[in-house]
């Protein structure tokens, strides 16, 4: 049973993954309905981040309450360091009724590997 659950979670997450290349194209469009959400800690963000991204710390005790304040009609492109926390955030947001939520595959590590802009 655990194996089936793990397979489901893996497949569920991969459906909502977005590559750094595709996110960079969206990032360059600078449309107001596209929000880049960083779920890393403030310390991680101070090292580097995707410009214009909104930070909601996954480890904050108010994390889910802060997610509830987001507009469900916008598109969210979520990242963390490697894709683990952001993948879990996609699942949480989907459970909360968000339709357009995507996980940056490989997190900011993959973004930087492609030499895309960071602050």
Mean pLDDT score of the chain, rounded to an integer? 89
Question: How many domains, the chain?
Answer: 1
Q: Is 118 part of any domain?
A: no
Whole-number percent of the chain with pLDDT over 70: 88
Residue scoring higher pLDDT (14 or 45):
45
* Interval 80-93: pLDDT, tens: 999 999 999 999 99
The CA distance from 57 to 44, in Å, is: 10
Q: In CATH, what number is assigned to the domain containing residue 55?
A: 3.40.250.10
* Interval 92-108: pLDDT, tens: 999 999 999 999 999 99
- Domain limits for position 72: 2-113
pLDDT (average), residues 51-74: 97
Q: Is 39 part of any domain?
A: yes
User: Residue 12: pLDDT above 70?
Assistant: no
User: Residue 5: pLDDT above 80?
Assistant: no
Helix (H) / strand (E) containing 117: none
**Residues 15 and 94 sit within 8 Å (Cβ to Cβ):** no
Q: Is 7 part of any domain?
A: yes
């Amino acid at each position: 049973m655990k194996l089936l659950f793990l397979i489901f979670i893996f497949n569920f997450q991969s459906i909502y993954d977005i590559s750094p290349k595709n996110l960079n194209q969206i990032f360059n469009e600078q449309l107001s309905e596209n929000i880049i959400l960083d779920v890393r800690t403030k310390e991680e963000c101070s090292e580097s981040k995707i410009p214009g991204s909104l930070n909601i710390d996954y480890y904050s005790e108010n994390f889910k309450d802060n997610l509830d304040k987001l507009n469900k009609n916008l598109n969210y492109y979520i990242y963390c360091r490697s894709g683990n926390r952001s993948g879990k955030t996609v699942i949480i947001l989907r459970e909360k009724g968000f339709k357009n939520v995507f996980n940056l595959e490989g997190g900011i590590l993959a973004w930087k590997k492609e030499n895309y802009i960071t602050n």
